[in-house]
Amino acid sequence: MHVHSLNSGMCTLPVLRRLCRESYSDPHQLFESLRRRGMDLITFTDHDSIDGAEAFRSRRDFFLSEEVTCRAPSGTEVHIGVYDMEERHHAELQRRRNDLPRLAAYLGEQRLFATVNHPFSALTGRRCAEDFEMFELFRGCEVLNAHLSWTHNGRAEEFAGRNFQIGVGGSDAHTLESAGSAWTEVPGARTREEFLAGLKRGRARAAGYPGTYLKLTADVIRISLAMMNESRWTYMLAPLLAAVPLATLGNFLVERSFARKWGRRVLEERAPRFAPGAAESQESVA
C-alpha cells in the first residue's frame, strides 16, 4: 500500500534535488519482487505520478494509486495515499493538492479511499497542531510504515484508533530490497474486488516490520550507489558515503523525538473526542 519506483521524481532534500532520485526501482522489477515476496495484490504509490502503472493497468493483481504531496492550511506539507483510482482522478487530485480540505472533499465525492501517510514523521518537515485536525478528514491512516520505528507507528496506530480511522501498513520502499517488508491484509478476501471492499469497510489489518537504523542506512547507501551508476560524474561524491551512517543516525533520532513530541501534544494533552463507551452507545443506537 506504500511503495515507490523511479517515477517518484527527484529527492526533495535541498542539496540532492538536482542529483538524486527518490527511488531507482524499475517498475517491472519492483512488480516481480513484490510477487516473489508473496503479495497477492500490488499497487505503486509514486509521488504525484501514475506513470509507473502504465504497463500493469490490465492485470487483475494490480490497482492504480498514488501518493499526493499536499499543502495543509497551516502551510505544512502532507502526504496522502489515494487508492483504487482512475486516470481521470489523477489530474483532479493534482489540481487540488495545495488545498487539503478541498482535496478531502473531492475524495469523498468520488468515494476514493485515502490515507494520511506517516502522520507523526518529520519526513515532510514541520508540523502544526491544527494539521492533526485535518488528518481526521481522511478515512484511513498509515499505522505501520516499514521505514519508521515502533515509536512513530505506535503513535499513528493510537491516533487512528482514537479517530475511528482504518489502519493500513506499507513498506514505503524506495529500493527493491525493502519492498514488501510491510503490507495490508484483508482476511478472507480472494479477489481484488473483495480486498478493496473489505479495506473500505474497515476489515484491513497492517502486518510486517517497522523500520530500524540499519535498514534506513542500508537503503540510503543503495540509493546513493544507484545515483552514481546512473550519473557517473557523481562518483566524485563517493567519499561522502562514509558519513551516511552518522547522517542516518541523526535522522533516526530526530524522527523518534518528533514522534514523541507530537504524540504527547496530540494524544496525551488533547482530551479524547469521545468519552469511554461513547462508540458502543452510538453503535447500539444505530
Q: What is the pLDDT of residue 217?
A: 97
Query: What residue has cell string 523500520?
Result: 211
Alpha-carbon gap, residue 209 to 144, rounded angstroms: 8
Alpha-carbon gap, residue 182 to 210, rounded angstroms: 8
- As a whole number of Å, the end-to-end CA separation of the chain is 32
Please give the C-alpha separations between residue 86 and each of 27, 57, 65, 90, 252, in angstroms, as whole numbers.
19, 10, 8, 7, 36
Q: What is the pLDDT of residue 268?
A: 83
The whole model's pTM is what?
Answer: 0.92
Domain boundaries, the chain: 6-229+243-285
Q: Give just the sign of the alpha carbon dihedral 199, 200, 205, 209.
A: positive
CATH topology of domain 6-229+243-285: TIM Barrel (3.20.20)
Q: What is the pLDDT of residue 271?
A: 56
Question: Which residues of the chain fall short of a pLDDT of 50?
Answer: 274-286
Model pLDDT for residues 101-152, shown as the tens digit of each residue: 999 999 999 999 999 999 999 999 999 999 999 999 999 999 999 999 999 9
